[in-house]
Amino acid sequence: VNSDVDPNTGQIYTLTLPTGAGKTLTGTQSALHLHDETNSSGPLLYILPYTSIIEQTEQVYADLFEFGAGIETPTIGVDHYLADATDDVEKPDSEEKTPNMATIPLWYNDITLSTTVQLWETVCGPSKSQCLKLPQLYESTIILDEPQSFPTEWFGRVEELLETLRTRFNANVILMSATQPPITYPPTCNTA
């Protein structure tokens, strides 16, 4: 885990490990440790670029926390466009134009697995339902996995969003990847 910033003023952490080296477990352990160390009250958000990786990570977490002898098992939620948030909700007879509040993932779990699209839409241009997720960003610890998957023309904007998460939401952010992109801290790009 690397960092170039004074921990008293906030940091963006990076973790670089090759594929198969236990990046998910190492990143999660680091995030949980950082979360406790900073007395953060928000959830752990594990943000991934692809829905297929979310399902793999959900299974890793299920296996990890299944054997947590002596510790309280965290609640784990999944939020992406293919996730079925209506398992326990009675489906209406007709389609509604406004979403049923019970079907909106609000990131109230101890750990939420979601996509970069969900995170950026929540921070940048939230719809009504996405605005409901904003409070969960406060004092959260966010793992951004595979940030090299962002288009390079977005890097300046991503740097600004990371700074917003850190300063406005007092969030801890960990960038985690087998290949780190050229995102720097503090942000060096000014984009309009």
- What is the rounded average pLDDT of the residues 125-148? 85
Residues 121 and 127: their CA atoms lie apart, in Å, by: 8
Q: Are 155 and 122 in contact (CB under 8 A)?
A: no
**Is the omega angle on the peptide bond into residue 181 within 30 degrees of 0, that is, cis?**
no
Full-model pTM:
0.75
Confidence of residue 183 (pLDDT cuts 50, 70, 90): low
The two most distant CA atoms of the chain are separated, in Å, by 56
Dist. CA 27–CA 60, nearest whole Å: 12
Confidence bin at 81 (pLDDT 50/70/90): low
Mean of the per-residue pLDDT values of the chain: 74
DSSP secondary structure, 93-161, as one string: SS--SS--GGGS----SSEEEEEHHHHHHHHHS--HHHHTTHHHHTT-EEEEE-GGGS-GGGHHHHHHH
Cβ–Cβ under 8 Å, residues 184 and 150: no
Rounded mean pLDDT, 138-154: 86
Q: Do 143 and 28 form a contact (C-beta atoms < 8 A)? A: yes
DSSP code of residue 29: H
Name residues whose C-beta falls within 8 Å of residue 76's C-beta, 6 or more positions apart in sequence. 58, 61, 62, 65, 109, 110, 111, 112, 113
Q: pLDDT by residue (tens digit) across 10-53?
A: 556 666 677 777 888 888 888 888 888 888 899 999 999 888 88
pLDDT at 103 over 60: no
| 134-139-144-150 Cα dihedral, nearest 10 degrees | 50
